[in-house]
Structure 1
Amino acid sequence: MAAQSLSSLLQRASIDDHEEVLQSSNAALAKSKSDLHAQHAKAVALLKLDRYDDCLRVFEEGGDGLKKRAALEYAYALYKCGQLEPAIEVVSGLAGERGALHLEAQASYRSEKFRRAAEIYEQLSKGETSLHNEENDLRINSWATDAQLQWKGYPEFVRHNRPTRDDLEAFETVYNAACLSIAKGEFQQGEVLLKRAKELCRTSEDLTPEDRAAELLPIAVQQLYVLLRQGKSEEAQSVLEEISVGDIPELSTRKIAQTNITLARGATTNPFALYKALHETPDSADNDKLFEYQDNIATGNSHSADLLVRKYDGIIRSTSKALAQAAYPSTEPRVNLLSVYNAAAHARGETGTKALKSILAALDNRPKDLGLALTAVQLYVSAGNTTSAITTLERSLELLDESISEQDKEVRFNPGLLSILVSLYKLEGRKVQIRGELAKAATYWQSQAEPPASLLRAAGASLLHSSDRSDLVTAGDLFKSLYQKDTNDQFAVAGYVASQATLDYSKVQAQVDSLPSVADLISGVNVASLESAGISPSSSANAAAAAAMAGARKRRANKDNRVTKRVRKSRLPKDYDPSKTADPERWLPLRDRSSYRPKGRKGKQRAAERTQGGVVHEKAEESAAVPSQPQKSQGGGGASSKKKKKGKR
């Protein structure tokens, strides 16, 4: 009865002090451990007190009944403890609740599922904004999600372009808009927005002095990065004074700040000082981790510093351990980055072709390691050996072709990996191989759920240059599938017409009329202004121009069918006179010319002996016919046996 009365009292009470709620809940649970309402009240109090680990233990002790009754609170505790996937699984079952959608969006954002987060925020923005200040939160979070989509490499899903007047009223929205500009590489625009965000934060009346200082720190850290990227070192030094790394509570932001400050202070000249500075801040964990693209940069910085201080064996051990736990083969940037630094450590400071020996040996042990393979390819290309680069990459791809694993097939036809191979083929003019690779990749991706449109476009355009009927049929199928997904895709329509025009023109006659005419396409193009502005013509235009110039330079043959060549002045003698006839025997040696007259008695004698039909001296012939006797060598020095002649007295 006492437990029931206390439980009913908690239901009717409204206590503002969360510590008192916690004490009352503990008193109720001391009487009855199965009191569901007391467990719920305790969990909420622990959440209010930011004791998330303790709250999660309450849910585990309470069992499925408490988890079902307080599913939203349970999901929030999982989210705050860094268990993002379980949190998303729990909260996705609470359909229709706006609070649950907000929590799912937050968990999706932290787990880097930015496309899902953007979809949820768009869904919430279209509904009724009944919650307090929800419209402002949606604006802030949607801008942050778009910035992450841009950084992640999905610009086609970004919904915001330029901030509106409403967006420029809150410093959080302005800051996120600045991050989106930075992700696009628009550093000047980002710098302007960051200055406005800093000004709005300083003049905000809703923030306490402590909150204002905490909000200004990440803005200053981002501003420092933008100034460093633009090479504004003086302004970066002034911003540097505003940043106190020790006052930053989040380890992720602190690590980024420490890296930017290290670069701004020029610690790169001393590798040991750089190594110490980059390892001062410990790695973040749980819900305060760096995003993947940030972690890749931080990992690269750390391993680069390790290489500078010659910690080769340590890098080999750490990267090999991480690679052993990762998927193999993989196209993930994090995994391949580890392979690159593993290869650099094996090279032990060597570069160029000298580093290839150790890297190729490591590649023999892990032949499907794309990071190692691409490192070897890069070294071969840098040395001008494109053929070996192609052979190395083809060897790894052949192993993936022979595999029956679906993961290996997906890696084999990865668009980024395929673009590298196609680029290498282009360097050597291997058009047939390019067409074959793109055709195989298109065949594979057509059977997948989400084929990359860019790859299908490239494959279709390449197959159009083939004279094989089957290739044109395949190109038509590719362009048809692209058009079915996007009916406004004029490139797909034009490609389909080009592929079917020589096969069956009646099929594409209706589509031809929908395409814009050539006259309309080039009506606003001024070729002369483009050429004067420095736009180079295409290869076909260059070939046509070269042929025209070659034809203009041709001269008619002389009557004796010989073409006279113009001799450059640099090849003519100094005393050259074009009015005089050149000596026809000028190319013969001097003694063989008809005008040669030897001087002196011996010279006349030698000339007479060389003359055909001259007098023959028998004694000279006899002396020439007697073979010369070999000289006997002396023991030791091998000097001649003849005595030296005395000199003149």
Structure 2
Amino acid sequence: MTTQALSSLLQRASIDDHEEVLQSSIAALAKSKSDLRAQHVKAVALLKLDRYDDCLRVFEEAGDGLKKTAALEYAYVLYKSGQLESAIDVVSRLAGDRGALHLEAQASYRSEKFRRAAEIYDELFQAEASQLNEENDLRINAWATDAQLQWKGYPEFVRHNRPTREDLEAFETVYNAACLSIAKGEFRQGEVLLKRAKELCRTSEDLTPEDRNAELLPIAVQQLYVLLRQGKSEEAQSVLEEISVKEIPELSTRKIAQTNITLARGASANPFALYKALHETPETPDSDKLFDYQDNITTGNSHAADLLVQKYDGIIRSTSKALSQAAYPSTEPRAGLLSVYNAAAHARGETGTKALKSILAALENRPKDIGLALTAVQLYVAAGNTTSAITTLEKTLQLLDESTSEQDKAVRFNPGLLGILVSLYKLEGRKVQIRSELAKAATYWQSQAEPPASLLRAAAASLLHSDDRSDLVMAGDLFKSLYQKDTKDRFSVAGYVASQATLDYSKVQAQVDSLPSVAELISGVNVSSLESAGISPSSSANAAAAAALAGARKRPSANKEDRGTKRVRKSRFPKDYDPSKTADPERWLPLRDRSSYRPKGRKGKQRAAERTQGGVVSEKAEESTVSSAAQQKPQGGGGGANSKKKKKGKR
């Protein structure tokens, strides 16, 4: 078949004869292997038939000519084959192509570059939609991206809050809105939205019965998770009957469903049954892999089951292999999780101080392992030994301080790691160390492209309490940089004023006027209602009130009788105290000195008689007293020739 005949065939081809187009292109390539158009047609036909491996092979065999001519198709087959970074690299060069933007957004989404995906969808929204259903697809994908941003830990980049009326018309949008609510921890709202998504899916006229069942399964799996998190066991059991794990086509969704079903059925009571159930689903391919936060949970569940069946050596081998391939040191959740399970396997079921021995030994071999260090810190804190916890963490941080690696420095001043150290310092009241650590971290992050605002705020607020002028200057610089990024941030303005007020008040005169007055801040506060609700004033407020009223309260009484009787607490009285009886006036005297004392026995009476003033004195007792005193008194008088002086020195 000639190229002209192939073009004629393509003009008459419909969407249902991709196999025929493929055979025609193969016939054309048999006559001319270098026919670029036939190669392009073959690649497209293979894409339509979902034969991605064969399609990728066509591109690799054809060379750079086909990759350049059919760059969008090449990027798409890379995306479908799980080579996400390569797909993004190819498609990002196709400037001005709307289809290329859609593909880049999809590849960025799957590679967990959710911020870039959100930017692309915003760009597509601002431009005019070229197709009828594109606006609906953009809305669905934008909601999905926001849900992933929330799960990933970037809530400040989430653009959606509550679904609009248009969002509630399609089950896909409602489902993604439910996922966003679940990511926020709003399980009740998520449950309501999932029910609506299921209802819309069941009543949709655009879906075939097979497609409807395929769409309902992921909704039911998510609904099961929400019900389990809320403790609604009975409703979870009814949803459980709707899920057939074997009918779920995606292995990633099947793995999640298998885990939740296993936990819902209470298989965790038997560790061996739990181990078997969690390992029934095969590993997911690169083209259908779990997101990182999902994979971390799955890995944790798997290793937890391994610990329950005492597969300690296997865990040590697998985690050690994975850690050897990961970055070191690292604050990534997966690396930390592997380190924790590696430590648990080394402990071999021991807890507390017994587990510390093996964990500290493992930490000696990997002194920069953050997961191991934090595990040891946690065990020390649980045992009440905060000082050892601080010492352990400081040793690891000191090694990172001494390193010249940029990666080590980034780990050293990681906000989460620094927050743990500051919390430990707070437990022991080490305010100077807190200020020093936050200042060093702020100095480091100021030189980075995206410094964490929360850490800079904490460092600047801490430096305000310092008496050192350099600390106040640094606090002012930090607050100023925060204000330049967000001019509506009153916290930054107030902090900048506080830091510069004692240094140069003229610099902050304009900013002072922009701050709200104290009267404005407390105008809506009802002190009486707060106190009646059970909210007591702080100790500092009590101290201030006491100082203000000191002159009115400290008025000395003119006479002693005018003073009020001091009330004695009941805990001060003895157990047999009776206010109707008069207290014994001699109760403060020793027992033998009281008038009611009566000694018992002959010796007791004799000693009592000797102590009695004005009584009969015994001559023998007097003689013994005198002789004893004569022996203790040093000899005096003249002579002294035979007396020897005592030499000075040690006795």
Q: Establish whether TM, by shorter chain, passes 0.5.
A: yes
Asked if structure 1 preserves the Cα contact closer than 8 Å seen for 2:224 and 2:240, the reply is yes
Rounded to whole Å, the distance in 1 between the matches of 2:484 and 2:235 is: 53
The corresponding residue for 1:346 is 346
Rounded to whole Å, the distance in 2 between the matches of 1:278 and 1:533 is: 50
The corresponding residue for 1:164 is 164
Deviations 1:541-576 (A, max 9, x none): 3655788999979998998xxx98947466436375
Per-residue deviation, 1:389: 1.2
Rounded to whole Å, the distance in 1 between the matches of 2:268 and 2:559 is: 71
Rounded to whole Å, the distance in 2 between the matches of 1:491 and 1:311 is: 52
The corresponding residue for 2:45 is 45
Rounded to whole Å, the distance in 2 between the matches of 1:241 and 1:546 is: 67
Amino acid at match of 1:84: L
SS at 2:576's partner residue? coil
CA 1:426–1:599: 2 relative to 1, 3 Å: closer
Rounded to whole Å, the distance in 2 between the matches of 1:224 and 1:407 is: 41
Counterparts of residues 384-395 of structure 1 (less than 5 Å): 384-395=384-395
More deviation, 175-184/524-533 = 524-533
More deviation, 123-132/290-299 = 123-132
The corresponding residue for 1:425 is 425
Asked if structure 1 preserves the Cα contact closer than 8 Å seen for 2:501 and 2:508, the reply is yes
The corresponding residue for 1:614 is 618
Amino acid at match of 2:584: A
Rounded to whole Å, the distance in 1 between the matches of 2:384 and 2:577 is: 46
Task: Give me the TM-score of the superposition, normalised by structure 2.
Answer: 0.89
The corresponding residue for 1:635 is none
2:584 paired residue among 576, 582, 595:
582
The corresponding residue for 1:265 is 265
Per-residue deviation, 1:593: 5.0
The corresponding residue for 1:281 is 281
Amino acid at match of 1:582: D
Structure 2 gaps of 5+ residues are 626-651
Rounded to whole Å, the distance in 1 between the matches of 2:132 and 2:569 is: 90
CA 1:594–1:235: 2 relative to 1, 3 Å: same
Rounded to whole Å, the distance in 1 between the matches of 2:255 and 2:556 is: 73
Instruction: Tell me the C-alpha RMSD between the 2 structures.
Output: 2.7
The corresponding residue for 1:336 is 336
CA 1:538–1:116: 2 relative to 1, 3 Å: farther
The corresponding residue for 1:368 is 368
Per-residue deviation, 1:262: 1.1
The corresponding residue for 2:83 is 83
Rounded to whole Å, the distance in 2 between the matches of 1:212 and 1:146 is: 25
SS at 2:201's partner residue? helix
Asked if structure 2 preserves the Cα contact closer than 8 Å seen for 1:117 and 1:145, the reply is yes
Rounded to whole Å, the distance in 1 between the matches of 2:555 and 2:293 is: 60
Asked if structure 2 preserves the Cα contact closer than 8 Å seen for 1:463 and 1:471, the reply is yes
Counterparts of residues 412-451 of structure 1 (less than 5 Å): 412-451=412-451
Rounded to whole Å, the distance in 2 between the matches of 1:377 and 1:407 is: 22
CA 1:205–1:581: 2 relative to 1, 3 Å: closer
Deviations 1:266-305 (A, max 9, x none): 1121111111111111121211111000111111111111
CA 1:604–1:475: 2 relative to 1, 3 Å: closer
Asked if structure 2 preserves the Cα contact closer than 8 Å seen for 1:475 and 1:496, the reply is yes
Asked if structure 1 preserves the Cα contact closer than 8 Å seen for 2:476 and 2:495, the reply is yes
1:528 is aligned to 2:532: no
The corresponding residue for 2:453 is 453
CA 1:571–1:118: 2 relative to 1, 3 Å: same
Rounded to whole Å, the distance in 2 between the matches of 1:445 and 1:575 is: 68
The corresponding residue for 1:14 is 13
The corresponding residue for 1:381 is 381
Per-residue deviation, 1:513: 1.3
CA 1:32–1:374: 2 relative to 1, 3 Å: same
The corresponding residue for 2:136 is 136
CA 1:613–1:455: 2 relative to 1, 3 Å: same
Per-residue deviation, 1:516: 1.6
Amino acid at match of 2:32: S
Structure 1 gaps of 5+ residues are 622-649
CA 1:536–1:402: 2 relative to 1, 3 Å: farther
CA 1:415–1:239: 2 relative to 1, 3 Å: same
Rounded to whole Å, the distance in 2 between the matches of 1:380 and 1:119 is: 45
Per-residue deviation, 1:608: 6.2
Asked if structure 2 preserves the Cα contact closer than 8 Å seen for 1:331 and 1:411, the reply is yes
Asked if structure 2 preserves the Cα contact closer than 8 Å seen for 1:608 and 1:614, the reply is no
Deviations 1:601-626 (A, max 9, x none): 565467668999535499x99xxxxx
1:242 is aligned to 2:246: no
More deviation, 274-283/327-336 = 274-283
SS at 2:161's partner residue? coil
Per-residue deviation, 1:584: 3.2
Rounded to whole Å, the distance in 2 between the matches of 1:602 and 1:416 is: 78
Deviations 1:424-483 (A, max 9, x none): 111111111111111111111111111111111111111111111111110111111111
The corresponding residue for 2:404 is 404
Asked if structure 1 preserves the Cα contact closer than 8 Å seen for 2:367 and 2:396, the reply is yes
CA 1:474–1:569: 2 relative to 1, 3 Å: closer
Per-residue deviation, 1:512: 1.2
Counterparts of residues 525-564 of structure 1 (less than 5 Å): 525-535=525-535, 537-538=537-538, 540-541=540-541, 544=544
SS at 1:164's partner residue? coil
CA 1:352–1:46: 2 relative to 1, 3 Å: same
Per-residue deviation, 1:244: 0.5
Asked if structure 2 preserves the Cα contact closer than 8 Å seen for 1:400 and 1:409, the reply is yes
Counterparts of residues 150-229 of structure 1 (less than 5 Å): 150-229=150-229
Rounded to whole Å, the distance in 2 between the matches of 1:535 and 1:50 is: 66
Rounded to whole Å, the distance in 1 between the matches of 2:84 and 2:402 is: 37
Amino acid at match of 1:64: D
Rounded to whole Å, the distance in 2 between the matches of 1:617 and 1:160 is: 104
SS at 1:26's partner residue? helix
CA 1:468–1:608: 2 relative to 1, 3 Å: same
Rounded to whole Å, the distance in 2 between the matches of 1:263 and 1:557 is: 78
Rounded to whole Å, the distance in 2 between the matches of 1:576 and 1:177 is: 72
Rounded to whole Å, the distance in 2 between the matches of 1:220 and 1:606 is: 96
Amino acid at match of 1:574: D
Per-residue deviation, 1:359: 1.1
Per-residue deviation, 1:364: 1.3
Asked if structure 2 preserves the Cα contact closer than 8 Å seen for 1:7 and 1:37, the reply is no
Asked if structure 1 preserves the Cα contact closer than 8 Å seen for 2:328 and 2:369, the reply is yes
